[in-house]
Amino acid sequence: MVGATGLAISPFAFAQALSPQRLSLGFDTYSIRNLRWKAPQILDYAAGLKLDVVMMSPPCFESFEEPYLQKVKDQADRLGVRVFPGFGCICPLSKAWNKKQGDPTTYLLNCIRTAKMLGAPAFKVLMGIADDRKQSVPIPQMMETAIKALRTVRSQALDAGVKIAFENHGDMQAWQVKALIEEAGKEFVGSCFDAGNPVVMLEDPLTALEILGPYVAASHIRDSVVYEIPRGAAFQWVALGDGMIDFKRFVNRFQELCPKAPFLMEIITGNAPQEQPFLEPEFWNEHPSARAAEFAGFLALMKKGRPFTGKMLVSRDGPQPPEYQAALIQQQRIDLERSMDYAKKTLDVGVRWRS
């Protein structure tokens, strides 16, 4: 496609120019992880749904060598779908750290190289996981270690024009992610805002968005139910529109705070409700830095909630019968597509879907 200046314009950029008021819409491949699709099939699927963006995790790529990544980018450009890569843990103090990655600097440099080759303005990383709050290493110490690693690749990230986007992943509350971003350097570090994980960290997702919104470079969007139980609270993730989060308000604030960030579904259904027994004193050993203001907002959200009463297959402990496993896999795809439909038709998100 050629613009008025005679220069080539990608279909993605052309669509954005036509509809700059709409957020770009896509999904993270974790939503359909059990289908085990590779990049070419994922891109065809995204294009068929008239999506703008897809975030691909490492298993989606058959190689990270230049010829293969160029092939993926060429296909994405032809289809008008932008690819954001999503990577893992960068902190060696985390239980999630993979020693096969070498050292944090080497890992981050490989992430930057991959993102640049795919033409992505950002890529997702993690500091750690929820289980890190149960170990002896304090979260602030993990944050300092992550910040030191980030500073070693500052110049390379800036030269590549790529932001390192941290997911709020059950390890840090939103204010802690903000502190990490600002101390490391917001010129090259940002947020991959996850709308489901705040309820894990005793936060209202809308409150967390207010804190991280100005730093958001990518996102993971899903709905939740939160409700009161005798021991404290319980939560469950559900398809978009099936939960209790006010996503019309959420989208308005997202568009005001971070209009250039993609609105990426990461739908996680099939899990049983998880308890948060905050009325038991030992619970707070895992949340020593929780702040009263955020917890008050979470309590207000909890008081409005009730258990999910819709239809959902729930994964059971132990091996699944083949028929049950097949149904859970299909549920991932069905719930993702239902969520996309809700985002398009109810929330009016998506650049390309009306064409």
- For 53-98, how does the pLDDT look when each residue is reduced to its tens digit (9 = 90+)? 999 999 999 999 999 999 999 999 999 999 999 999 999 999 999 9
Tokens of 243: 């939960």
The angle, 0 to 180 degrees and rounded to 10, between the axes of the packed helices 139-151 and 174-184 is 30
**Which H helix or E strand runs over 324?**
helix 322-345
Quickly state the pLDDT bin for 354 (edges 50, 70, 90). confident
pTM check: above 0.75: yes
- For 6-17, how does the pLDDT look when each residue is reduced to its tens digit (9 = 90+)? 445 554 454 444
**Which H helix or E strand runs over 107?**
helix 104-118
Which amino acid is it at 134?
K
Whole-angstrom distance, CA of residue 299 vs CA of residue 86: 32
Whole-angstrom distance, CA of residue 352 vs CA of residue 339: 16
CB 263 within 8 A of CB 25: yes
Tokens of 172: 């840090």
pLDDT at residue 17 in the model:
46
Tokens of 49: 């749904």
Pairing of strands 232-238, 274-276: antiparallel
pLDDT at residue 316 in the model:
82
10 vs 169: which has the higher pLDDT? 169
Contact partners, residue 269, CB within 8 Å, separation at least 6 = 237, 238, 239, 312, 331, 332, 335
Which amino acid is it at 247?
F
Contact partners, residue 243, CB within 8 Å, separation at least 6 = 223, 224, 225, 237, 308
Give whichever of 209-213, 288-292, 317-321 has the largest mean pLDDT.
Answer: 209-213
- For 142-152, how does the pLDDT look when each residue is reduced to its tens digit (9 = 90+)? 999 999 999 99
Residue with tokens 């059990």: 34
**End-to-end Cα distance, the chain:** 16
Whole-angstrom distance, CA of residue 270 vs CA of residue 41: 24
Q: What is the mean pLDDT of residues 35-57?
A: 98
Sheet holding 223-229, edge to edge: 223-229, 232-238, 274-276
pLDDT at residue 320 in the model:
82
Tokens of 213: 């919104």
To which CATH superfamily is domain 22-222+243-269 assigned? Divalent-metal-dependent TIM barrel enzymes (3.20.20.150)
Contact partners, residue 47, CB within 8 Å, separation at least 6 = 79, 80, 81
- For 171-201, how does the pLDDT look when each residue is reduced to its tens digit (9 = 90+)? 999 999 999 999 999 999 999 999 999 999 9
Q: What is the mean pLDDT of residues 232-238?
A: 98
CB 264 within 8 A of CB 53: yes
> CA torsion, points 153, 157, 158, 164, in degrees to nearest 10?
-110
- For 292-330, how does the pLDDT look when each residue is reduced to its tens digit (9 = 90+)? 999 999 999 999 999 999 999 999 888 888 999 999 999
**Which H helix or E strand runs over 181?**
helix 174-184
Q: Is the model's pLDDT at 141 over the cut of 60?
A: yes
Quickly state the pLDDT bin for 136 (edges 50, 70, 90). confident
